Structure 1
Amino acid sequence: MTIGLFGGSFNPPHVAHCIIAEVVRDQFELDEIWWIPNGTPPHKTDRTLASAAHRKAMVQRVTDAHAPFRLCTVEMERDGPSYTVDTLRRLQARHPQHDFHLIIGSDSLDTFASWRAPDEIVERVPLIVYKRPGGLNAVAERRFANRVRYAAAPVLELSSTEVRARRRAGRSIRFLVPDAVQQYITSHDLYAGD
């Protein structure tokens, strides 16, 4: 089975995440997309990070709505920072029968050389990169060019930060997040008092 690994804080997951995951799945003929909420993201110190339990529950609602999407809690199963290379090692050891691909945004490719063990990551899996607002870092793009494939996903200027800000301001987040995620956010009063 060919699996796309789609990691992030998903704080909260929004419709742009869903669109990217589905476009990548379709374009690269992946069997499934495994959504991997970070346990403790090493690069985020955001005090507005919802608990792992809330983020897991919201991603579960997204993945329940579309059969090729799966929730993968590998990063939430361990303590400490979540490093991609550790996640890949663990998943490849658990599932040697699967062919994994790592899905990242162009903003992540810009900083990819500073990730823990980037050369090992690209030896283990090819990267599928989708465009985010802003340009690409030409140095990073050249260094990893033989392991990068680009998704023909639309550039969507929606972020979890924007969703949280709208919620804090008492504004509507309808159509910015899946209905089930909106219901969860409302019922648990998330992000309203960040």
Structure 2
Amino acid sequence: MKKIGILGGTFNPPHIGHLVIANEVLFSLRLDEIWFMPNQQPPHKHKTAGATNGDRYAMVNLAIQGHPCFRTEPVELKRSGPSYTYETMKILKEMYDDHEFFFIIGADMVEYLPKWYKIDQLIKMVTFVGVRRPDYSHVTDYPILNVDTPMLDISSSMIRKRLEQGTTIRYLVPEPVRMYIKENGLYGS
């Protein structure tokens, strides 16, 4: 049985923080692969701005190129409406019934778990992996594996803001992602 980590997000744009988290979880839990899963429309966020679904998918592929255990999973981009993890995992479990899934979430989402759609059914389908962050509680009534990762204070919103202001994002995103953003004029670059 393959052990697969799922890292969902808007990836608007993907940055080195995403890659560090994925790599640390991969090795800490001895997983076989990490699947990066761009969301269609996360229920807890407003519509993604600045890049199309195609752009975000392309940037994730550029960000992970060369890592033998990383791949992009487009299942949520093929659906319409809000991306509820429960619905997505139902689809993935049907497609890959011989896989065990580990769903990676940040500490901000650990606190939010009681509000997740069909959380009681979802925790029977996946193992949640919480990535620790300062200033967030890691306490929850739900079963979670916690993984410590190096703290990188980088966010997609910070990168978009820097681009709007004409500030450098070099080394905050992988170089192929930076070039894609520049070549496609994303985020006011």
Task: Give the deviation of 1:132 after TM superposition.
Answer: 2.7
AA aligned opposite 2:74 = T
> How far apart in 1 are the matches of 2:59 and 2:134?
25
Q: How far is the alpha carbon of 1:154 from its aligned partner?
A: 1.6
Residues 130-172 of structure 1, C-alpha deviations (whole Å, 9 max, x = no match)? 023422164xx1x10xx21111212221100110011000000
How far apart, CA to CA, are the structure 2 residues paired with 1:137 and 1:114? 16
Q: 1:114 to 1:41 in 2, by over 3 A?
A: same
> Are the structure 2 counterparts of residues 47 and 30 from structure 1 closer, same or farther at C-alpha, using a change threshold of 3 Å?
closer
Give, as a single letter, the amino acid of the residue that structure 1 aligns with 2:21: I
Residue 183 (structure 2) pairs with residue 182 (structure 1): no
Gaps (5+ residues) in structure 2? none
Aligned partner of 2:12 in structure 1 is 11
Aligned to 2:111: 110
Aligned residue for 2:36, secondary structure, equals: strand
Task: Evaluate the alpha carbon distance shift between residue 47 and residue 38 of structure 1 in structure 2; reply closer, same or farther with a 3 A threshold.
Answer: closer
User: Are 1:60 and 2:61 an aligned pair?
Assistant: yes
Query: Could you tell me which residue of structure 1 aligns to residue 99 of structure 2?
Result: 98
1:33 — aligned with what?
A: 34
Q: Report the CA distance between 1:64 and its aligned residue.
A: 2.0
Aligned position for 2:83: 82
Q: Is the 8 A contact 2:132 2:138 kept in 1?
A: no
Structure 1 residues 38 and 47: alpha-carbon distance in aligned structure 2, compared to 1, 3 A threshold: closer
Which deviations, in whole Å up to 9, do the C-alpha atoms of 1:51-81 show, x marking residues without a partner?
A: 1111001011122231100000000011111
CA RMSD of the aligned region, Å? Answer: 1.3
Aligned residues: 188
- Moved >6 Å (runs of 4+): none
Partner Cα separation in structure 1 for residue 21 and residue 72 of structure 2: 16
TM-score w.r.t. structure 1 length?
Answer: 0.93
Q: Structure 1: 5+ residue runs without aligned partners?
A: none
CA distance in 2, matches of 1:117, 1:11: 26
TM-aligned CA distance change 1:137 to 1:64, over 3 Å: closer
Give the direction of change, closer, same or farther, for the CA distance of 1:163–1:149 in structure 2 (3 Å limit). Answer: same
Aligned match of 2:51: 50
Structure 1 contact 133–156 (Cα < 8 Å) conserved = no
Call closer, same or farther: CA 1:85–1:49 in 2, change over 3 Å: farther
Correspondence for 1:71 = 72
**Alignment partner, residue 150 of structure 2:** 154
CA distance change for structure 1 residues 70 and 113 in 2, over 3 Å: closer, same or farther? same
Secondary structure, counterpart of 1:123 in structure 2? coil
Q: Is the 8 A contact 2:41 2:47 kept in 1?
A: no
Kindly provide the amino acid, as one letter, of the partner of residue 165 in structure 2. Answer: A
Aligned to 1:168: 164
Corresponding letter in the other structure for 2:4: I
